[in-house]
Structure 1
Amino acid sequence: MKESSNNTSEEGFLLLGFSDQPQLERVLFVIILLFYILNLLGNTAIILVSCLDPKLHTPMYFFLSNLSCVDICFTTSVAPQLLVTMNKKDKTMSYGGCVAQLYVAMGLGSSECILLAVMAYDRYAAVCQPLYYTTIMHPHLCVSLASIAWLSGLVTSLIQCSLTVQLPLCGHHKLDHIFCEVLVLIKLACVDTTFNEVELFVASVVFLIVPMSLILVSYGFITQAVLRIKSAAGRWKAFGTCSSHLVVVIIFYGTIIFMYLQPAKSSSKNQGKFVSLFYTIVTPLLNPIIYTLRNKDVKGALKTLVMANAIGSKRL
């Protein structure tokens, strides 16, 4: 971020977070640390069982392992720095650290938006086209769709963040937020940011409204197909498979849309902090909880993996 006096690049940013509420900050420190640890354990477990259990070598678990990888990296780009800042009196974050966090968090968040839409298409193909599912979702297409999700996040991050770091901040270095986020940094600029705001709005539509619309359309077709199933048990099984994904989608997109597609003055600063906290720390934990607690295949694979390790340890 350019600035007339170079103070920002020399001193970095003061990441204020919840420092004005010390008691709340202490409680949030414990909660964030717990959520982060559970996030690492849960999502790592999903990646391991998806790779090690041949029964889970399917498109659904391929995309789920990609989602878990995104979630681990996304939360890691925010949580450790936030925890360090919350646990010390000096709230300073280096300029380089802020810029790095800006690029990484934006890229991974955008990738997750596309990846969730890809997963919805996978569920549509599985439920609505079961006889042709293996033909439609062949390995080459799965790899291509996952690559598009990762690359699209990288591209939008390079564009959006590069435009943001060019804004002059005129020496202001107090960041009243929980991490370096494009939306917050734009508000610190002391020049006209109309172009940046329009570009951010367009990117938000592309990565939020369009994917979520496609997801809703997919689930509309899925609902029609499920209602045609004669067996009540079959209907419940189909609904159970897709409902967990839909819950994650609603919570994830809902919080980000609330943050990025509302008037700038319509919410308090603390409200924006809590919303950001939710989609960076809380929702990445929902994937392992929902998929492992509600899915028999994953629970069976985890049980088998743990038993195999236990038997191997006894033999040694």
Structure 2
Amino acid sequence: MTSLTLSDPRPSPPLKTRRVMPGFGLTMGITLVYLSLIVLIPLAGVFFKASGLGWDGFWHAISTPRVFNALKLSFGAAFFAAVFNAVFGLLVAWVFVRYEFFGKRVLDAAIDLPFALPTAVAGIALTALYSGNGWIGQFLEPLGIKVAFTPIGVVVALMFIGLPFVVRTVQPVLEEAEKELEEAAAVLGATRFQTAVRVILPTIAPSLLTGFALAFARGVGEYGSVIFIAGNLPMVSEIAPLLIIIKLEEFDYRGATAVAAAMLIISFVMLLAINLLQGWSRKK
């Protein structure tokens, strides 16, 4: 008499493989704790302090002509400087990637100087160059172009500190771009302008927008390099970060947090719009 052994028809559960790196739960927990301590809680503190004013008090604090002009100068100068850096930073990155010339390594290293240079030193150097008796300013002022102690000086300072963000963001993408696509476009009869607009620009558009956003964000909060060349004239060349410092020195803490909260809200909205545009460009 033979005995029959019945096997379990249910499939055996898969064996759990042990990951070498930490899993999602641990890394996500560390990420949330770190972001909360470094970013979220300090920003929430600014909004909590500003909420003590109430909506009417908050609006009154940020709608005064002095605060309005300071915010307009900070964001307007940062935007125009980021636009200039996006254009000329792309040209600089293109030259570094596509051409070989004497002194290339030195110039490539010099692009990073605004990262390492103290902002106060940059401000003093730019003021010495563009003031009325400076090396460059002495030739511009007779033409009616005054840079130092004007809003133009603010834009120049922000262009100086924002250029590396665009160059270092676009340069790796250009290095990895396929030159065969450009050659194929030329073989098919495309002009240089068509190749640049239809082949090269769509490839680098997301990185170019990223560099623009980084340069813009840095420019909005820049302080050290701007206060020297701006002249800090109320209603003319006074930036919002300087106005916050002035209000803190006057013990107007709620007014300072109101201006800071307004800068955070405007910055978040503009950066969100840039990120949405960047995502759309990636899909296209």
TM-score (norm 1): 0.27
The structure with the larger Rg is 2
